[in-house]
Amino acid sequence: MAVITYREALRQALTEEMERDPSVFLLGEEIGRYQGTFRVTEGLLQRFGEMRVVDTPISESGIAGMAIGAAMIGLRPVAEFMTFSFALIAVDQIVNHAAKILYMFGGQIAVPVVFRGPAGGGAQLSAQHSHSLESWYAHIPGLKVATPATPADAKGMLKTAIRDNNPVIFMEHAKLYSTRGEVPDSDHAIPFGVADVKREGRDVTIVAYSQPVLLALHAAEKLAQEGIECEVVDLRSLQPLDMDTILRSVSKTHRVVVVHEDHRNVGFGAEIVARIQEFAFDELDAPILRVASADVPIPYARNLERAAFPSEDDIIRAVKRVLG
């Protein structure tokens, strides 16, 4: 088992899948000659050539449509958005085309496409470059949504995404690319819909996904020093969603904090909370709290941006509140 970065893990998944299956190809802005804005695709143009590593103009609708069309005739395109904030331009292609084609044509045309790239913010990129919006995609029947937090999950889930016959929204996080972790050397594909308990604990369940999983783990570390044992459930994928693992944890701790970087209002946390109260109302000893971004456009100033995003301290405070 090697220790590599999240970025390298993604690159390994792309490389291995491209080696394994000639129908896999990549397209996106600056992914080839420039080696990828976040260097995920570094070296791949040189290795696979320009037919399989396709540099595109800044045309997100064109990129998405090109990927969907190629997928409809049996290729397996992996389209990179430089950030998911730019995917907003392509939402009609993703939502009205990729997500609908299988159903509206009676199950006859599959769309095995992956849309991947960084979501979220945290580098003072301000209002237009810091969106999360995973709840938008999870809201759409027909899309799968993956949000890996560690290098091992990033690699294993990207392999699963590429092999999946449905459109997959694969949300990375810019703050995760340089994080390191152990990644199995073997061909490991992690199935969607299986949450991972990243830390066990008896007192409070913290449900998180993507970069906030790391925040939750740090907060849990600090709380442990005060004798509070948190269980951190990393959802890993939002659609499909593994409610069983959440409910198992809830029935152990009876207290829940949900953490995500998207805004709180109508964020994915609301869905988790709704389902917990529906299926495990009697297990709860306290109201469920959400830790999320402030419901404001993300500001530029370092102090304001920091205040807008969820922090370790926010999680610690929320955990203490649910403990009464």
Partner 1 sequence: MKAEVPVKRPLPESLTPQRLVELYRTMLLIRHFEEQCSPAYRQGKMGGYMHVYIGQEAVATGFVAHMRDDDYMICSYRDHGHALARGSDPRRLMAELFGRYTGVAKGKGGSMHLVDVERGFLGGYGIVGGMVPLALGVGYGIRYRGTDQACLCFFGDGAMNIGPVHEALNMAAVYKVPVVFICENNRYAMATPVEFASAVPNLAQRAKQYGMPTRQIEGMDVVEVFREAEEIIQHVRTTPEPFFVEVVTYRFEGHGIADNPTNQALYRSKEEVEYWRQRDPIVNTARLLLESGFATENDLLAWDAEAKQKALEAVAYADASPEPPLEELYRDVYTDMEVEEWR
Active centre residues (catalytic): 60, 129
CB of 109 to partner 1, least distance (A): 6
Q: Which is nearer to partner 1, 90 or 298 (CB)?
A: 90
Whole-number minimum distance, CB 140 to partner 1, in Å? 10
| Interface residue list for partner 1 (CB under 8 A) | 25, 51, 54, 56-57, 59-62, 64-75, 77, 92-93, 96-97, 101-110, 141-142, 144, 164-166, 193, 240
- Sheet (strand 237-239) strand order: 53-55, 24-28, 76-80, 114-119, 168-173, 144-146, 237-239
- The least CB distance from residue 197 to partner 1, in Å, is 23
Contacts of residue 180, Cβ cutoff 8 Å, sequence gap at least 6: 3, 4, 5, 6, 151
What does the radius of gyration of the chain's CA atoms come to, in whole angstroms? 19
**Rounded Cα gap, residues 187 and 190, in angstroms:** 10
Give the residue with the Cβ less far from partner 1, 122 or 193. Answer: 193
- Measured from the CB atom, the residue of 185 and 278 that comes closer to partner 1 is 278
| Distance from C-alpha of 24 to C-alpha of 26, rounded to nearest angstrom | 7
Per-residue burial over 56-67, b if 16 or more Cβ lie within 10 Å, else e, is beeebeebbbbb
Question: Count of CB atoms within 10 A of residue 281's CB?
Answer: 8
Strand 196-199 relative to strand 180-183, pairing: unpaired
Q: Are 87 and 115 in contact (CB under 8 A)?
A: yes
CB of 101 to partner 1, least distance (A): 7
Residue number with CB closer to partner 1 (70 or 322)? 70
